[in-house]
Amino acid sequence: MKKIVIFASGSGSNAENIVLHFNKKSVANVVRIFTNNPNAKVLERARKFEIPTEVFTRQELNEGNVLELVNKIQPDLIVLAGFLLKFPDAIIKQYPNKIINIHPALLPNYGGKGMYGMNVHQAVLKNKEKETGISIHYVNEHYDEGGIIFQKSVNIEDCKSAEEIAAKNSILEQTHFPEVIEKLLT
């Protein structure tokens, strides 16, 4: 059974969806959830599924403490699902092409530092884009610049708010993120 480690900073809706997907499969299990936010709702979701968690500080992430914990697990894949801190080079070097992220836009558009969550959807709305989507990509040392694994677009011409765009994107994330992870592990 392959091991997945998830890093998340917020509500954990993608993390829960991944857990539910793999609970029905014999391919992999989510074995640990890491967060930098002691108040993140992802911790409640992890408890519900009895998945061990690690809460850490930015300093612990950057000084190698988190890398030590990850090394003890030896995951087959590290999944960033709404993780907002820059991922450290030391972990990226230790796990090349084994760290993926989901981005709420069609990269390379609307990527980079500060472009996450509603910031992305507001920029897409402001620029009157006709479509947006999701990008699942490998993580490298630059924000949102790793090799693209999968993209899916959605028409947003009828959307009047960033929240409506976010809702359409969420459907894409919930549908495709677990499937892409499964393909990478099989």
Residues carrying an active site annotation: 103
Can you tell me the distance from the alpha carbon of 138 to that of 103, in angstroms, rounded to the nearest whole number? 11
SS (H, E, C) 26-91: CCEEEEEEEECCCCCCHHHHHHHCCCCEEECCHHHHHCCHHHHHHHHHCCCEEEECCCCCCCCHHH
Q: Give the C-alpha distances (Å, rounded to integers) separating 159 from 78, 85, 106, 131.
A: 33, 29, 17, 10
Beta-strand relationship, 2-7 and 77-80: parallel
User: The dihedral of CA 113, 6, 76, 108: what is its sign?
Assistant: negative
Residue 30, strand partner residues: 4
Give 80's Cβ-side CA count (13 Å radius).
27
